[in-house]
Amino acid sequence: MGYLSKASRTLRQSNYLSLLCSLNFNPLTNRITHGRFSVTRELFCPQSRQYSTTTRDKSAIDLSQYPPELVRNFSIIAHVDHGKSTLADRLLELTGTIKKGHGQPQYLDKLQVERERGITVKAQTATMFYKHSVNGDDCSDGKESPNFLLNLIDTPGHVDFSYEVSRSLAACQGVLLVVDAAQGVQAQTVANFYLAFESNLMIVPVINKIDQPTADPDRVKAQLKSMFDLDPSDALLTSAKTGEGLEQILPAVIKRIPAPPGRSESPLRMLLLDSYYDEYKGVICHVAVVDGILRKGDKISSAATGQSYEALDIGIMHPELTPTGILLTGQVGYVVSGMRSTKEARVGDTIYHTRTAVEPLPGFKPAKHMVFSGLYPADGSDFEALNHAIERLTCNDASVSVTKETSTALGLGFRCGFLGLLHMDVFHQRLEQEYGAHVISTVPTVPYIFEFSDGSKLEVQNPASLPSNPKQKVTACWEPTVIATIIIPSEYVGAVITLVSERRGQQLEYSFIDSQRAFMKYRLPLREIVVDFYNELKSITSGYASFDYEDSDYQQADLVKLDILLNGQPVDAMATIVHSTKAYRVGRELTEKLKTVIDRQMFEITIQAAIGSKVIARETISAMRKNVLAKCYGGDVTRKRKLLEKQKEGKKRMKRVGSVDIPQEAFHQLLKVS
């Protein structure tokens, strides 16, 4: 997670820090006396987990001053790029939690992949302290205004993580629903709204980016009214970029969002929001204390696994780990309990005092894997390295299922199950970025169910595991579907309908949000959106479409297994399951694509696509004619030798089926054919 680089930066700052320490501030009072926009001079190093505890006056934070009435737990939900992370940054700055201009932008998105993609993958929490006068008077009447403890719970926005989102929201009493003032309501806005609405959360609409020349807040207000029945007068108008309107947000949070409802006197119940693996501390769990009180040293148990732990270190994220020794009802913080793997820390789990009887919090579900793909080391000899990288990464992302598998073409590898496409992408990217693993991934597939004439059923997570010529006749097959929400400018409706019907979509709803935007709901086979649907949708709508989906039921479908054969030998890693109406087209596309990526070799290569024993598409790559070095005299030997060794190395990196060498590129290219 980049802590190493952070640590090095911290070292550079250490002189600076010690200098500041000698000034001996009381950070809390200092912050209170200065106004909202004043530059807070808190002794805080946003880059450092390790140092934050040493530079802070520990006695400064006394959580017992914050009974539930003075606590607000809220989340920010938004469509991608509507300004969620920037708004979060501004709120952290506003409360002096991070120093303006000193923290890295998008403070809560810690992973490289999150920053690059502008998405949130892991839930994060941050505790802020904010002085607010309940009566609306300022401090001039001499009566000290109460300090509020605000927990901002940042959730992933994407549907793949909707379970994590729902758990995060379960710890909140309200949300800021952020909508871009120019783009208006988008598909993820809709999905997130309903998640919050169904959780009975107070919704504070925030129309953001009002500084844009194309901003049209009134239109967005009208959309909020017509789509979600939100009162236009409740909407806050802000620009996280310029700071305009930001001062209204925290007062609105305190006024409109209710305090957490838990009971301090009840036995402890904590909701596990997410977990991280830290090199030094082990697993760090983010928790929300629903009822009761957690103290350092308490014995605690997990309702999902039944395992017991000791609360070795507890505290709040302010915004880095800040030990407090106690967490009270309604508060959100972290627990280090000696868990060895995040697999023990299941999102949504209930944690309670060992040997007390409590009702687990509702809504716990184990992860459900919707997309599977094979992951193989790009270089066959790197299996151990990949194994290690996957083990380390799953320490931090327990929602991936991993089983070993073997492919004749690719050797030893793993079949991984993911929550969805984005989750898969993110996993690949993190493997490469954080662990330097080079992988070949097979075409993602969805879990199909095949039923045979003897009544047996087979769940197929890897097309290769389905026999090409089964002894038992296949009597029925089922595929998973999703309900997709698509919001587009109305001029693209025709193109989108064409695309969706090509993808075997079934229209469920079609309406207009306002005069310019259409809203459509479709049932789509998951398989059809797995690879390139979103890109295609973006391209036919000039990037204006927004798209989101939720899992739905299995439906019966006419599915066949499509094998790819090279010189008559099936390549297991290239087998796919497709709808029978598409088999011919896909077969043709796959063989054509392979023809362009497989290099000519010393013999002719035939590429075939086949269903069972029936060949439906065929291409040939003619034999190489010439590859010869003209001269090789004394001075050339070393150079020619290097050239040939390079050629040999190139061959070594290829995957071989029969006598045919397949470049790794071929597997990447296949991902582009759906």
Partner 1 sequence: MLKSTFTPIFWVLTPKPNPQNIPSKALTRNFFTNSTPLVRHNASLNPATPSTPASAYIHLPFCRKRCHYCDFPIVALGSASTQTHLDPRVSNYINWLCREITATKVNQPASSTPLQTVYFGGGTPSLVPPALVSSVLETLRVKFGLCEDAEISMEMDPGTFDAEKMREMVALGVNRVSLGVQAFQEELLRSCGRAHGVLEVHEAIGVVKSCGVENWSVDLIASLPRQSSEMWEESLRLTIESQPTHVSVYDLQIEQGTKFGRLYSPGEFPMPSETQSAEFYKMASRMLSDANYNHYEISSYCKSGYECKHNFIYWKNKPFYAFGLGSASFVGGLRFSRPRKVNDYINFVQNLENGLVDSSGDGHIQGKDTAMDVVMLSLRTAQGLDLRSFQESFGGSAVLSLLEAYKPYVESGLVVYLDEQRRTIRIDDLNYSFLNKPNTEKRVAYIRLSDPEGFLLSNELIALAFGVIDSWKDCFPYQEAEAT
Residue 498 to residue 507: CA distance in whole angstroms = 12
The least CB distance from residue 651 to partner 1, in Å, is 6
Confirm whether residue 158 is marked as ligand binding. yes
Residue with Cβ nearer partner 1 (261 or 650): 650
> Which DSSP state fits 541?
T
Confirm whether residue 131 is marked as ligand binding. no
Part in contact with partner 1 (CB under 8 A); list of ranges 84-92, 241-249, 446-454, 626-634: 626-634
Residue listed under structure tokens 């991070």: 98
- Class of residue 13 by CB neighbours under 10 A (exposed 0-12, middle 13-18, buried 19+): middle
Confirm whether residue 157 is marked as ligand binding. yes
For the CA atoms of the chain, what is the radius of gyration?
28
Residue with Cβ nearer partner 1 (102 or 651): 651
69 binds partner 1 (CB under 8 A): no
632 binds partner 1 (CB under 8 A): yes
628 binds partner 1 (CB under 8 A): yes
Residue with Cβ nearer partner 1 (315 or 377): 377
Residue 293 to residue 289: CA distance in whole angstroms = 7
Residue 44 to residue 21: CA distance in whole angstroms = 10
Confirm whether residue 211 is marked as ligand binding. yes
Residue 332 to residue 256: CA distance in whole angstroms = 19
Instruction: Yes or no: say if 309 and 296 are a contact pair by the CB < 8 Å rule.
Output: no
Residue 316 to residue 332: CA distance in whole angstroms = 7
The least CB distance from residue 643 to partner 1, in Å, is 8
Q: Which of 652, 653, 668, 672 binds partner 1 (CB under 8 A)?
A: 652
Query: Strand 614-621 relative to strand 174-180: parallel, antiparallel, unpaired?
Result: unpaired
568 binds partner 1 (CB under 8 A): no
SS3 percent helix, strand, coil of the chain, rounded to 5, is 35, 30, 35
The least CB distance from residue 636 to partner 1, in Å, is 8
627 binds partner 1 (CB under 8 A): yes
Kind plus residue range of the DSSP H or E element containing 17? helix 3-21
Residue with Cβ nearer partner 1 (512 or 603): 603
Size of site (CB under 8 A) for partner 1? 27
595 binds partner 1 (CB under 8 A): no
Q: Which of 641, 653, 668, 672 binds partner 1 (CB under 8 A)?
A: 641
Number of alpha carbons in the 13 Å side-chain half-sphere of residue 514: 16
614 binds partner 1 (CB under 8 A): no
> Which DSSP state fits 192?
H
Q: Which of 15, 602, 613, 614 binds partner 1 (CB under 8 A)?
A: 602
23 binds partner 1 (CB under 8 A): no
Number of alpha carbons in the 13 Å side-chain half-sphere of residue 147: 16
The least CB distance from residue 380 to partner 1, in Å, is 12
Q: Among candidates 545, 569, 588, which has minimal Cα distance to 655?
A: 569
Instruction: Yes or no: say if 326 and 63 are a contact pair by the CB < 8 Å rule.
Output: yes
Instruction: Yes or no: say if 117 and 60 are a contact pair by the CB < 8 Å rule.
Output: no
Q: Which of 232, 640, 663, 669 binds partner 1 (CB under 8 A)?
A: 640
Part in contact with partner 1 (CB under 8 A); list of ranges 322-330, 479-487, 515-523, 647-655: 647-655
> Which DSSP state fits 356?
-
Confirm whether residue 80 is marked as ligand binding. yes
631 binds partner 1 (CB under 8 A): yes
Q: Which of 365, 490, 637, 672 binds partner 1 (CB under 8 A)?
A: 637
Confirm whether residue 388 is marked as ligand binding. no
634 binds partner 1 (CB under 8 A): yes
In degrees, rounded to 5, the angle at the alpha carbon of residue 9 between the alpha carbons of residues 8 and 12 is: 95
- Class of residue 135 by CB neighbours under 10 A (exposed 0-12, middle 13-18, buried 19+): exposed
The least CB distance from residue 628 to partner 1, in Å, is 5
Instruction: Yes or no: say if 657 and 605 are a contact pair by the CB < 8 Å rule.
Output: no
Part in contact with partner 1 (CB under 8 A); list of ranges 250-258, 419-427, 547-555, 630-638: 630-638
The least CB distance from residue 302 to partner 1, in Å, is 50
Residue 252 to residue 423: CA distance in whole angstroms = 34
Confirm whether residue 397 is marked as ligand binding. no
Q: Which of 539, 644, 653, 672 binds partner 1 (CB under 8 A)?
A: 644
Confirm whether residue 79 is marked as ligand binding. yes
Q: How far is CA 484 from CA 497, 510, 528, in A?
A: 13, 12, 11
626 binds partner 1 (CB under 8 A): yes
φ and ψ at residue 512, rounded to 5 degrees = -115, 135
Residue with Cβ nearer partner 1 (236 or 621): 621
Confirm whether residue 185 is marked as ligand binding. no
Q: Which residues are annotated as a binding site?
A: 78-85, 154-158, 208-211
Binding residues for GTP: 78-85, 154-158, 208-211
Binding site residues, partner 1, CB under 8 A: 601-603, 624-635, 637-638, 640-641, 643-645, 647-648, 651-652, 659
